[in-house]
């Protein structure tokens, strides 16, 4: 059985774009509107010869985390707890938001290895957000661009010891 890697993060950071890039097909719905991914999506992923199952989650896809349906959040937390590793994606152009901090606070309490990914980092506009992300207490971010394929080798290096 392939190890399971789960993608987590607030809406619109590029989780589904990352999922699509790793799966190589347009399986996950990508949209400018948050909240498009309504359930978990599974796919077989390949990254520079590494093979794993990838899970695109939607448990934090709600504008107001206080009104988040508990069932969806529990499903996401369950997915992280049982995964080999979690890819925590933030928007490096937008910088760190309160919801990023809330997710990070919870992720720091899990035993699952977390790989921090600053997405949309195809230009200098991401530099500030990447610096800010050290405050999340989850280590060094990978400067990534799901859309442009930047940072794939760094993601490979982070995943290889875990798979």
Tell whether residue 16 is a contact of Mg ion (CB under 5 A): yes
| Residue selected from 20, 37, 57, 133 as contacting Mg ion according to rule CB under 5 A | 37
57 is in an annotated binding site: yes
The item of Mg ion, ligand GDP, none sharing an interface with residue 32, based on CB under 5 to 8 Å by kind, is ligand GDP
Helices of type H across 1-151: 15-23, 70-82, 98-107, 127-132
Given the complex with ligand GDP, which of 146 and 155 has the nearer CB atom?
Answer: 146
Angle at 40 between CA 39 and CA 45, to 5 degrees: 145
Q: Which residue number, 62 or 122, has a Cβ lying nearer to ligand GDP?
A: 122
Residues binding Mg ion: what is the number (CB under 5 A)?
3
- 113 closest CA partner among 160, 149, 50: 160
* Strands 50-56 and 41-47, bridge-based pairing: antiparallel
Binding residues for GTP: 9-16, 56-60, 119-122
């Amino acid at each position: 059985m392939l190890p399971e890697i789960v993608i987590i993060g607030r809406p619109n950071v590029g989780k589904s774009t990352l999922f699509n890039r790793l799966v190589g097909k347009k399986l996950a719905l990508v949209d400018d509107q948050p909240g498009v991914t309504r359930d978990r999506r599974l796919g077989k992923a390949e990254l520079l010869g590494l093979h794993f199952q990838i899970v695109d989650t939607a448990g934090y896809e709600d504008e107001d985390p206080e009104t988040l349906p508990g069932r969806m959040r529990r499903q996401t937390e369950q997915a992280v707890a049982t995964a080999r590793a979690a890819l925590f994606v933030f928007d490096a152009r937008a910088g760190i938001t309160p919801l990023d901090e809330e997710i990070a606070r919870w992720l720091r309490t899990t035993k699952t290895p977390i790989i921090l990914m600053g997405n949309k980092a195809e230009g200098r506009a991401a530099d500030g957000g990447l610096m800010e992300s050290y405050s999340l207490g989850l280590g060094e971010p990978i400067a990534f661009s799901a859309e442009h394929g930047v940072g794939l080798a760094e993601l490979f290096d982070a995943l290889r010891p875990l798979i």
